[in-house]
Amino acid sequence: MGFRREDRAQAARESWVVRLFYDTEGDLHGVRALAVVAVLAVAVVLGTVIASFAGAAMGPEALTIGALIVFLGIKIPLLLFVFWVLMRQGGGYTQQDLTAAERARVLGSLMEQARDAKGSPDEAERLRWASREAWRIADEAPDGERTDAVAVAVAISGMAPAPRGTRAP
């Protein structure tokens, strides 16, 4: 249900609200979003404290009104903002969303992670994961790019450590 990256990029060029939280490429400015959530969370806490003190000083009616103001004026907008960001981000990328350069960058990163896994205590698990991801990308890659993706997947699969109890030649 999330928006495609191109849709987010287009909206970021048109809307000042979206432009505040997304760059022109459609990527989220995470620090800005976290700052807004933090400010709203502080406002919720301060509003709750102020409503509590007002309720203690002026009675239960003031507490009720203060709680409603905090709930309707701060908590609901906070939840709506977080929901808006989550819905725009979607569930991650699909192969159809990746350009050739992005696919090559992901495969290069997988190859680098596989090389880094060599000699680590969890080498086998990390190599299995990298191999699985590379094969997934190779399976879903367009025909013109499949050969390179398969080559990376085969190379990563070939890095698998020898089973325990056997010696390398």
**Tokens representing 26?**
């459609």
Q: Which residues contact 76 (CB under 8 A, 6 or more apart)?
A: none
Can you give the pLDDT at residue 120? 86
Please tell me the pTM assigned to this model. 0.44
Out of 84-98, 105-119, 131-145, pick the least confident: 84-98
Domain spans in the chain, listed from the N-terminal domain onward: 5-92, 96-157
When pLDDT is cut at 50, 70 and 90, the band that residue 90 belongs to is low
Per residue in 23-70, pLDDT (tens digit) is: 777 677 888 888 888 888 888 888 888 888 888 889 888 888 888 888
Tell me the C-alpha distance between 98 and 141, whole Å: 9
* Side chain identity at residue 104, one-letter code: A
